[in-house]
Amino acid sequence: MSYPITGSCQCGGVKYRLLCAPEKVVACHCKACQKQSTSAFSITAFVSADAVEFEGEMQEWRRTADSGNINAARFCPTCGNRIYHYNPEQPDQIKLKPANLDDTSILQPTAHIWVSQKQSWFTIPDGVIVMDKQG
């Protein structure tokens, strides 16, 4: 894989360049991620904030996670696509929502978290880390 990789929201109003490989890629099966992704789980690529260059207007929405931390989400105000999440107390770490990358071949999660809330029909692949909660 060669970097940078480009990505964008559905309407193209927000574009970005991922400059290097993610630190890790995780699939989260919690109910909040199921609602956010409208799927069985969401995929998150953990990257340093300086490893991504963003272009375009984004809005923000926040919620308090079970841990008590704030989970802030940045998204396109036109099409609503989530671009990334972050904890305001750790602004140097971004939880990129990488399904909107132009090349999604990096989307091979090495861990599945919150499997205590996963859909019963989904089978987790062999060889990955599995956690009942966040860990």
Residue with token string 């140097």: 92
Is position 56 within any domain? Answer: yes
Answer yes or no: is 135 within a domain. Answer: no
Write down the pTM of the prediction.
0.85
Q: CATH no. for residue 117?
A: 2.170.150.70
Asked if residue 75 belongs to a domain, the reply is yes
Residue 135, pLDDT score: 62
H-helix segments, 1-135: 31-37
104: helix, strand or coil: coil
Tell me the per-residue pLDDT of 54-69, one tens digit each, with 9 for 90 and over: 999 999 999 887 778 8
- What pLDDT is attached to residue 19? 96
The whole domain housing 23 covers 5-130
Tokens 């009942």 sit on residue: 132
- What was the pLDDT predicted at 65? 77
